[in-house]
Structure formats: C-alpha cells, structure tokens
Chains A and B, each alone.
Chain A
C-alpha cells in the first residue's frame, strides 16, 4: 500500500490527494507538494531513530556495467554523503531482473535493503500471468525516489527515402508493414511500438532483441526499418549522423535537452503516446514513513546535485527526481498502461 506507507500524512488526505492529482498524469504538482510535506512532518519514532546507523544495501537487478548499475554507482558517492552512511551496491542479475526485484520485495522493511526498479520494464514480470508472479504487484514496493527518466526515441536510417520525419513515417506505416526493433517482450520499447500501433494503426512487425545496440546495428545494416529505443541509447549515433531520431516519445512540447533538434510526439501531432524507461529507488512494502522521508530527502539532494546531473547527462540520461508520492503516481500510471497493452497484445486471450 504505497499511498499509505510512503507519505507522512494521514491516509484520508493522502487518498484524496492521490485521486485528484493522479488523474493529471505526470503530476509535477505532487512533486513540489511532497517536498513541503516532508519537511512539515517531524514526529519522533522508535524504529527510525538514528537511521541509518549501518551500511545500506542497494540491490541492482542487472549485471555490473549495465546502464542501471553505472547510474547507481554514479549516484553512490553523492547519496553516501547526504545520508552519512555507507551504500553497498549488490548486483543480482537473472530472471529478467526478478532475481533482484524479488529480493527487494522480500527484504525486511527496515530501510537497510532497498534497490533500483526499472519502470515499466519490471512490470511485465508480475503482470504477465505466464511468469507466475501474481503474488507481486506495484504495491509490493515502497517508492522512495526516481533518479532518471529516459524517454523513448524513434529512429530511422538517415538515407531512408520512404520517410524523413515522424509524420511521413506514421503515414507510411499505416499502409505498409515495417520491421521495428524492441529490446525484448514487455520492454518499454515494445510497449512504445504497441502504443503507436494501438492508437494510430501502424503496421509494425516487432523484432525482439536483447539490447538496443543489436537494434541499432540492424538499422544501420538496413535489416530493420525503425528503431524503438531511449534517448540515452541513440544520442551519440544521432549526433554522429549514423541514425536519424525522428521523434522523442514525450508529452507536451518540451524537447529532450539531449536531442534539441528532435520534436516530441505531441509536438508532431501525435498525442497520447508517451514512453519512457525510468530508474528509481524503492524498498519493500511497509517501509517506515520516517525512513522513507530520510531516504527521499537524501536522494533529492543527491540526485539534484549538479555534478550528478552532469555525469548522467554525458550519457544522454535525463535526471528527473521524483518524491515518493509523485514517483508512486508514475508507477501506478505505468502499471495501468502496461496492463492494458500487455493484455491486449502480449499475454491476453486475443494476443497473437
């Protein structure tokens, strides 16, 4: 029950606030509000007194050297300084990330075992009934802070004469089948192309791969027509002119700071097809609100540290701190859209 356990406010107010702001989508209002609430609540508690007084384990559900791991290791020194405690990074790859995420879910909710979750990618693992994790849900986690939101990017080959911008691509794809890449069944990139096909009737055949670099390789070799990836994964190739990013899957007209020459989907006239891959810190359900408060306050200062922002920015990764309640709303929203698309196209009875 994140909305009860996360925030240091009475549940009644909490639920009303949630319903009101939750409908608005990203809800930056909530992020600002949470900052005030966090400082406004200072009751003393026995369990959280003196927290943290020993090292905190941070579980990474991916292997060392992967994107999430590198991002966590960049954050580590900043967070250690803010918390005044040692952070131990523990890599637990396997089972598509669920070796690690299960460990977060099953950890003692004392604040000494937390970890990174990757939304919406981790949701397929509990939503898809074939994977047998119906005992887990978004409620099994206590959101603490979002670190990075890497928006979806749609890239084509620069020499493709069939389409050179997102409008032409969408028009072409309505009439002709195109091969689009994905970084796996139920990945954010898969949902991104499904969302387009669902709403705009594009005829995409999805070519699943194990990483975005495989997809980019297939695009460069003209073996696939369109790459669905994230800004951080195509930024350098776009700047180098090897691929052409035609749209960033972001709502509103604010462009990605790392791809200033590329329009957002909404700007190009395609509303309602946002996509991102976010990385944030969460603990098991039932984490003490005061522990959450200490952690999220430290995360806010560490994540918003200009040096941290710059180091991630060099990889095209957009730092996007979210307070616990705003982060919870983002997860709920991801859960809802993932569930709908997944049921319709991946694991539901009509899915092929």
Chain B
C-alpha cells in the first residue's frame, strides 16, 4: 500500500457517516453477541439490506464491526452467567464463569475485552498486510485436512474433562452421534430424522448450545446450591483492570491464540467456534505446573486464549473473502452479499481499481476493534452489575432469553424443543458430573470430520492412505495428532525412568 493510497483510504474512512456507522456497529454488535441466541451472523444478515442505501465504506465497515464486536459480546454472558452468547463464546465460559464465581467477574471481562481487541487488531493487520499469501494457505486445505483438523480438535476433549476422562469422552461421543442426525450430504439419505422435516437439517448448533449451557445452568442456579451469587456480588468491589504483571503473564497466550485464530479464520470450513477451542487447548498445553491446573477453575489465561482466538478469526475469515470471494465463516458469507450489492467483486479489482474503498474498509475494521476494546474495558465495571440481580429475577429472564433467542435463529418452534431437550440433558449430565462442553465440541467437529473423511474418499479415488500421505499439510496434521496422543504416554515413561514426584495427567 503506497502512501497516496493510504491517504485516500483514510479520507474515505474519516467521514462522519463512516465513523457513526462503525460506532453503531460496535455497540450493536456487543449487545447482539451478549444475548444468547442472537449471533453476529444474524445481526449482519438483518442489517445487509440497510447497507444498500449507504456508502460502501460505511456499510461494509459497519458489518465488519458487528462481526468482531458480537464475537466479543458472546463472552459477556459466558463470563457473567455461564451462558455463552454465541457458539464462539463457549470456551470462554469454562474459566470466565469460574472467575465470576470467585468474585473476579469484572477482571475476567476486562481481560476478555483486551484479548478480543488484541486478537482483532492482529487479524486486522494480517488482513491489511498479508491477505494474498495467507489466502493461498486456505486453498491447500481440503477435505483430508479438515478431517484431520477435526480429529485434532476432538483431542481437546481430553483437556476439557477435568475430573473424569471417561465421562468427558462419553459426552464427546454423544456429541459425535448427534452430529450424524440429518440428511447425509453425500447420499441425500435422511438419518435419525424420525420422519420429521425439522431434523432433516440436523441438530442445529445454536439451540443445542443454548440448551446445554444456558438452560442447564439456569436449572442449576434455580436449585440455589450453586453458591455463586454471594461471591459474585463481592466481585463488584474488585478492580476491573488486570495488573501489569497479570497482563505480562497472559500476553504470550494472547499472541499465540491470535495467530491460531487468524489461521483457523482463513480456513473456509472452520470459524470462531473452532478457533476458540483450539486457542484454549493450546494455551493449556503450553502452560506448566500450577498454571495448567488452573484451567477450568478460573484461569485468566483460559479466558484470554479463547477470546483472542475467536476475535482473530474475524479478520482471518475476511482474507479469503476479499481475495478469492470464498467466505471463511458463516458471517463473512453474509458480508459477501453486502459486498456484491455495492458492486465490490472480491478478487484483484478490490486491491487495484477499488483499493481506496477496500483499504478504507480494512482500516475501518481495525478501528472497530480498537473502539470495541475501549468501550468493552470501560464497560466491564458496569456490566458486572448484572450479576447482582437476584437469582429469582435472573432465572426467568435467562429462560425467556433462551426461548426467544432459540426461536429467533430460524423462526422455528422445533428448535425450541431441541433447546429444551438439550437443556434437560445438560442438567442431568451436570448432576452426574459429565461436562457439557465435549458434547458441543463433538457436535461441531463431528460434522466436519464426517464430511472431510467421506469427501476425501471420493477425492482419493481408491488409494486413501496414499492420498493422505501425499499431501504435505495432511502429514503435518497427522504428526500433530500423533504427538498429542503420544506425548503424555512418553512423558510418563520418562518420569518412571527417572523417579520424580508424580504429576496429574490431563
């Protein structure tokens, strides 16, 4: 980008209309994200027609601002009431809610805001500076790699199951089974639909997520034995801003997770929901000793890892969108519609003839991330007041939000039933100590794994093993999978050889 173009782009960006649109997008996005059931994708979709009459820079920047802010917004409800507002916020709930229970809700929110902002800013720079080469990486990813990535992701279950590995895997397998419901995409055969139209498109992720996390959480809250409320209110007195030492401790995690997020973002078949889990798992893997033990029990690193990763996905997902016209996530698929309406065809022309508009949008996205961080950090102290609401008021409000939010996704009563059943299942599972997170992970990754392995069978045309081994990225992923499977075993062997104090395996 030369300086004349840069100045043109800035001139396009700093107009009243554009700045107002970005601010509206940030504030609206945070609210949409925080409400369970309302996701960024839906917010963007509903606003696309409104952008028809707007200047392209204002319109598209606003959509991008909603996208990144809603991703952050999902963490607010995840942290405060253990009900992730968006699928990408599910990993944040694990540690975020524990922090709230310990009275550190405001700090968790501030860390989430800072991590989200850094993740978003890193991805905005990746978009501005590295878009074309990174887009090529996304093309090297195809069915075999998606299969292996999903398998790699499923190994995360091991680290989600604080307590019993067996229960964690049982929940994960249940998620995988649920992922098989619906019309088989390779043969068109309806599986486990019981003759209903509602199940032909499978178990929808958002209703399942709201049920498993939000509704089951409400049922636990309603029991009144959670012991959370007292500690939560005491948290109001704690400071929101993390100390410099704390920030230093989580900075490495944020940078790593941001990188992971950008990478997952550029893959067309994987979005923020997967990015946050991978970021979370890698943060845990890289931690040692007591820090590692903290994960799942209220780790600031856990919150930072998940949140920087899912916001980094947003900029990453726009890379193949703008360079190749291939959306990297469901939200960017909707933004693509907005681009085309404004006569902006993805590809070379965006970076040559329309470069002043394109770069203005990218800079607008960068600005939106910074603005989001400022608003979110400033708001952390006040948002946490939500936890002061007595349980008997909070419970009906969340239940109402669960039902309305679920219905709003597809205007579907059937989805509400899925949510209610998932809520009941989630509640019973919590009662017997089975974590709900692996079910969601199985549901997300099961579909990707199945599609990947079956598509790769078509692509391999007979020689499956040879096909996988002939693809460099497949080899890398196979290596990663083997490493994570064997590392604990090898570590145990070595410890046995050199007698030491036994450490708890994850």
A residues near B (Cβ < 8 Å) are 63-67, 69-70, 73-74, 76, 90-96, 98-99, 102, 124, 128, 130-132, 177, 179, 184-186, 205-211, 213-214, 216-218, 220-221, 223-224, 235-237, 239-242, 311, 314-315, 346-347
Contacts and interface: CB of A to CB of B under 8 A. Distances in A.
A239 B333 contact: no
B387 interface: no
13 contacts: A65-B48, A65-B334, A74-B49, A94-B204, A95-B201, A99-B414, A184-B185, A213-B325, A217-B268, A221-B142, A239-B345, A240-B347, A241-B348
B340 interface: yes
B223 to A, nearest CB: 34
B410 A92 contact: yes
A64 B190 contact: no
Interface string B178-207: 000001011111100001011111001000
Given A73-B49, A94-B198, A220-B324, A239 B459 contact: no
Of residues B138, B320, B324, which shows the largest number of chain A Cβ atoms within 10 Å of its Cβ? B324
A207 B410 contact: no
Nearest to B411: A92
B499 interface: no
B142 A223 contact: yes
B201 A96 contact: yes
Overall SS of chain B's interface: helix
Interface string B407-423: 00011101100000000
Contacts of B38: none
B459 A207 contact: yes
B324 A99 contact: no
A218 B345 contact: no
A123 to B, nearest CB: 13
A235 B140 CA distance: 23
Contacts of B345: 235-236, 239-240
Contacts of A346: 188
Given A65-B334, A205-B461, 17 more contacts: A64-B46, A93-B201, A94-B198, A94-B200, A94-B412, A95-B201, A96-B183, A102-B197, A179-B458, A207-B458, A208-B185, A213-B325, A217-B138, A217-B142, A236-B346, A240-B348, A315-B337
A223 B411 contact: no
B41 A65 contact: yes
Interface string B305-339: 00000000000000010001111000001100100
B48 A70 contact: yes
B410 A74 contact: no
B142 A216 contact: no
A213 B185 contact: no
A119 B416 CA distance: 30
Contacts of A90: 411
Interface in B56-96: none
Contacts of A211: 333
Contacts of B346: 236, 240
* 10 nearest CB pairs, A to B: A185-B188, A65-B334, A240-B347, A64-B45, A65-B45, A221-B139, A236-B345, A95-B197, A223-B142, A95-B200
